[in-house]
């Protein structure tokens, strides 16, 4: 066998081995992903219901407080960025602004107590490779939305178990659509159903349980890199079992002890201790502003 033929044979064998690896590894990976999502969906279906009752909570949203945010407005020229937009379009413009200016680092901490307003979060991120964790991003987005008149809050999303990370997202209220809208600044993302209707955490949980199609925006991304629906379904399947939020959303509202109550929403039949207030009332937890 000539040297040339030997080299060709080696290349063919190498290519065949690599191809075989991908033919085996990719289906295994997909199987693991699908198995994990299926496990999480079973947990949701084991505890499928919240109560739609008359329970009410007193939520407050401090809106249009330009006096507290002039440094932020002027530094980032926010009035020009938001000019001509309102309601849902304004939500998406401001989510893009957050994603363009601050990245995500799951290992990042938060600013110290007393420094969780929007400008302090940005300053903290700038000292940490211009990144912060999902909580910081969700709080930042919620604050700038309230600055421009949109009721918004950060909500912490939990899995079934306690010894697992959590994820924090933003809920913003659309007056035009008369509904809450789920925004995830970590992934520059919103989610819709097959008819193009915006989802919130409640309807997203239901979609996972029922296996109905969901869609994400085309420009969804993670730290500037495209983020796919498949990646999202795997990630978010961990964080749809129960939710928590505060009741008073104002400047630096991550702080505890400022006229806020921490509420944990759990499905009927599931219990957790150690929370200031636990409820099974979804209509109370997701009350209209």
Q: Are 142 and 152 in contact (CB under 8 A)?
A: yes
Looking at per-residue pLDDT, the higher value among 273 and 76 belongs to 76
Q: How far apart are CA 83 and CA 243, in angstroms?
A: 33
Q: Which residues contact 166 (CB under 8 A, 6 or more apart)?
A: 156, 157, 158, 159, 239
Q: How far apart are CA 41 and CA 167, in angstroms?
A: 17
pLDDT in tens, 261-272: 889 999 999 987
Q: Are 36 and 267 in contact (CB under 8 A)?
A: no
Considering only CA atoms, which of 167, 199, 202 is closest in space to residue 186? Answer: 167
Q: How far apart are CA 109 and CA 105, in angstroms?
A: 9
Q: Are 221 and 177 in contact (CB under 8 A)?
A: no
- Confidence tier at 20 by pLDDT (50, 70, 90): very low
Percent of the chain with pLDDT over 70: 87
DSSP state string for the chain: --HHHHHHHHHHHHHHHHHHHHHHHHHHHHHHHHHHHHHHHHHHHHS---B-SS-----EE----GGG-HHHHHHHTHHHHHTT--HHHHHHHHHHHHHHH-EE-TT---PPTT--SHHHHHHHHHTTTTEE-HHHHHHHHHHHHHHTT--EEEEEEE-SSSSS--EEEEEEEETTTTEEEEEETTTTEEEE-TT-PBP-HHHHHHHHHHT---EE-TT-EETTEE--HHHHHHHHTTS-SEEEE-SEE-TTTTSSSSS---EEE--TT----S-SEEE-BHHHHT---
pLDDT in tens, 172-213: 999 999 999 999 999 999 999 999 999 999 999 999 999 999
Q: Which residues contact 189 (CB under 8 A, 6 or more apart)?
A: 183, 216, 217, 220, 227, 232
Sequence length of the chain is 289
Give the domain ranges of the chain: 47-285
pLDDT in tens, 54-110: 889 999 999 999 999 999 999 999 999 999 999 999 999 999 999 999 999 999 989
Average pLDDT, the chain: 88
Q: What is the mean pLDDT of residues 150-167?
A: 94
Q: What is the mean pLDDT of residues 33-53?
A: 92
Predicted confidence (pLDDT) at residue 168 exceeds the cutoff of 70 = yes
Q: How far apart are CA 236 and CA 243, in angstroms?
A: 13
What is the strand order of the sheet 189-192 is part of?
Answer: 215-216, 189-192, 179-184, 167-174, 152-158, 242-245, 263-265, 277-279
């Amino acid at each position: 066998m000539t040297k040339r033929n030997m080299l060709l044979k080696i290349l063919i064998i190498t290519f065949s081995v690599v191809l075989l690896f991908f033919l085996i590894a990719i289906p295994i990976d997909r199987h693991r992903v699908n198995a994990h999502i299926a496990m999480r969906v079973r947990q949701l279906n084991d505890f499928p219901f919240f109560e739609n009752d008359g329970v009410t909570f007193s939520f407050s949203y401090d809106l249009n407080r330009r006096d507290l945010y002039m440094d932020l407005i002027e530094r980032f020229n926010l009035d020009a960025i938001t000019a001509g937009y309102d309601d849902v379009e304004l939500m998406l413009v401001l989510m893009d602004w957050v994603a363009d200016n601050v990245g995500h680092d799951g290992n990042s901490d938060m600013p110290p107590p007393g420094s969780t307003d929007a400008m302090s979060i940005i300053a903290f991120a700038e000292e940490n490779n211009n990144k912060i964790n999902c909580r910081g991003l969700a709080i930042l987005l919620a604050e700038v939305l309230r600055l421009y008149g949109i009721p918004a809050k950060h909500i912490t999303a939990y899995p079934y178990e306690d010894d697992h990370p959590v994820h924090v997202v933003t809920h913003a209220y659309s007056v035009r659509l008369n509904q809450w809208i789920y925004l995830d600044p970590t992934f520059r993302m919103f989610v819709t159903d097959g008819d193009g209707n915006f989802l919130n955490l409640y309807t997203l949980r239901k979609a996972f349980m029922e296996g109905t199609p969901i869609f994400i925006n085309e420009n969804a991304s993670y730290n500037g890199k495209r983020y796919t629906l498949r990646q999202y379904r795997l990630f978010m399947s961990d964080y749809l079992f129960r939710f928590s939020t505060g009741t008073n959303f104002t400047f630096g509202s991550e702080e505890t002890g400022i006229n806020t109550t921490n509420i944990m929403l759990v499905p009927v039949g599931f219990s957790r201790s150690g929370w200031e207030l636990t409820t099974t009332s979804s209509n109370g937890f997701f009350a209209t502003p």
